């Protein structure tokens, strides 16, 4: 019955896939490292570098964000410091 179900769905059964995977020969360590490096180089070739104006925009956005977070943490620090001084004198 499982044969007819896999034949009608068009998908192979799970057991058949595991047998195929075990039949494949594993690559050696050096071959896997070379494959990894090739894939990394291929992905790096796809990277699009930002233009100068985009880079300046990102830089300003990061600076503003950091300044806002610093101000927030500073206000919290002063508030907790005064609260502790008020409680413990």
- Measure CA 31 to chain center: 25
pLDDT of 79: 97
pTM, 2 dp: 0.52
- Measure CA 39 to chain center: 16
**pLDDT per position in the chain (89 positions), as tens?**
555 555 555 665 665 555 555 556 788 999 999 999 999 999 999 999 999 999 999 999 999 999 999 999 999 999 999 999 999 98
pLDDT of 11: 60
Integer distance in angstroms from the first to the last C-alpha of the chain? 81
Q: Is 67 left (phi over 0), alpha (psi -120 to 50) or beta?
A: alpha
pLDDT of 2: 54
pLDDT of 74: 98
């Amino acid at each position: 019955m499982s044969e007819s179900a896999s034949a009608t769905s068009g998908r192979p059964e799970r057991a058949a896939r595991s047998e195929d995977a075990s039949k494949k020969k594993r690559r050696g360590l050096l071959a896997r490292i070379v494959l990894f490096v090739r894939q990394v180089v291929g992905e790096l070739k796809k990277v699009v570098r930002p233009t100068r104006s985009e880079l300046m925009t990102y830089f300003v956005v990061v600076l503003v964000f950091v300044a806002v977070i610093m101000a927030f943490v500073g206000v919290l620090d002063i508030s907790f410091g005064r609260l502790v001084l008020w409680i413990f004198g």
